[in-house]
Structure formats: structure tokens, C-alpha cells
Amino acid sequence: MGIDDTVHFHGICEDIDEDVYYIRFADDWLDMVEIPGDTPEINKGDHVYFSAKYRNVHIYPYSGY
């Protein structure tokens, strides 16, 4: 793997529930992001930008319908 194995995310924090952040990435894309360990200073309404190695990004299906 090289430089291209990193995924970059940018969004707006819409809500916070303990260590889970609800991030709006697009008009039709709201996702829950869990940040383990030391919690960064993120507040509702903040613009957030973060990067992760693609193998560390886990997407789970939502069955709340």
C-alpha cells in the first residue's frame, strides 16, 4: 500500500452522544463516528476533518427502519 490507502473525511458535527459523534458528510449522508481513546474537543456545529487508513474504516449496516 502507498499514499492512496488513506481516506479523508470532512463534515459538520450535528450531535454528540458520549463518544459517538453524528457527522453530516453530505445532504443525504449522516453517519455515526466513534472516536476511541482521548476525545478531541468537538462541539455541535463544528466542521471536522480527519483521515484514516482505509483498513481502519469500518462500515456497519443500520437496521433501525
Tell if the pTM clears 0.85, that is, is over it: no
Residues 13 and 25: their CA atoms lie apart, in Å, by 9
33-58 pLDDT per residue, tens: 887 777 678 999 999 998 889 888 87
Question: Contact 22/31 with Cβ under 8 angstroms?
Answer: yes
- Of the CA atoms within 13 Å of residue 7, those in its CB half-sphere come to 8
Residue 61 lies in a domain: no
pLDDT at 3 (0 to 100): 58
Q: How many CB atoms lie within 10 A of CB 21?
A: 22
Residue 17 lies in a domain: yes
- Which residue, among 3, 42, 5, has the nearest Cα to 20 in the 3D structure? 42
Residue 65 lies in a domain: no
Q: How many CB atoms lie within 10 A of CB 35?
A: 13
Look up the domain containing 52 and give its range: 3-56
Structural domain total, the chain = 1
Residue 64 lies in a domain: no
